Amino acid sequence: MDSIISRPILLGEYKLLKVLQKLSYSTVYLATSLHCPSMRWAIKEIFLDFDKPEDRLEAFKHFERIAKKYVKLDHPLLVPLSNFFYENNYEYIVFEFIPGHRLQEILDLRKKPFTEYQVLDLAYQTGNVLDFLHVRDIIFHDLNPSNIIITPDGSLKLTDYGLGKILARNEPNQPKWGTIGYGAPEQIGKDALLTESCDVYALGVVMHQMLTFWEPSVSKGVIPPVRKLNPEISEDMEMLIVNATYHDPALRYPTIQAFMKDLQKILKMKPTVDDQKETWLQKLARDISKPFTP
């Protein structure tokens, strides 16, 4: 890994401070702005790995068309996309840096299922963000636990939007957009499709994982029944997830609004675990800020 100190100032503005995350196709850095030193940014660096210059250019143009939509978005549960640019054979995506823990980190530490109420509440908040995007003809297309952040004050934020995956080289058996295990079957292959229902599928998989700790990335698309892995889950909850994760999109919830309608019915029947002082997410944020003990 190259030294951060030796890296040039990006775009004459962004100074890289440290590596936040190293992925197979990209590196995420914490950065500051020379003209606003108090600001912190999360910058994703993606190498455009294409054999032909024309393929690289086409991928970049496709990326720009999609990324422009996200710069204008303003929602309290979305991490703002501030900027994107191409420099020295790399594409850079600049997000406002939001401190906190990604849901995947929490799953790795927690090792016990979330309650139905907690999963429904998180899905309800996430579904509202997806609905906000869908009415603007934007598909999130890469919902997974690594793109869900729980902030120190117990707020939920969605980040990344899968924009980096647009520029990554895809294997034939992996989703053209999204993450293996979370991407709907129709997202895989040369003739991949991307619809609202794909986001519903991914949200259903995330809910399944929170309830069972089943690992979707190694399942090859086979989703076991929730109650087989966690018998304490209600039949209503199991059917909600089944209807969200059918491989055949004709059987799946066609829209996030249809999914949310059924989710709200179940949520109303669940006793809240929140008290007047803090929500379960605020308590979770407080707990994970302490040293972890098994």
State if pTM tops 0.85: yes
The token duo for 192 is: 């991949």
Beta bridge partners of 175: 188
Residue 124 belongs to domain with CATH number: 1.10.510.10
Q: Is residue 2 part of a domain?
A: no
**Helix ranges (DSSP H) in 26-179:** 53-71, 103-110, 116-134, 163-167
Q: Is residue 1 part of a domain?
A: no
Q: Is residue 28 part of a domain?
A: yes
Domains: count for the chain: 2
CB 45 within 8 A of CB 95: no
Q: Is residue 191 part of a domain?
A: yes
Domain match, 86 and 123 both? no
The CA distance from 267 to 283, in Å, is 20
Strands 14-22 and 26-33: antiparallel
Strands of the sheet with 156-158, listed across from one edge = 101-102, 148-150, 156-158
- Structure confidence by residue, pLDDT tens digits, 99-140: 999 999 999 988 789 999 999 999 999 999 999 999 999 889
Q: Is residue 175 part of a domain?
A: yes
The closest of 26, 29, 53, 50 to 41, measured between CA atoms, is: 29
Given pLDDT bands bounded at 50, 70 and 90, which one contains residue 293?
very low
Q: What is the DSSP letter of 254?
A: S
Q: Is residue 121 part of a domain?
A: yes
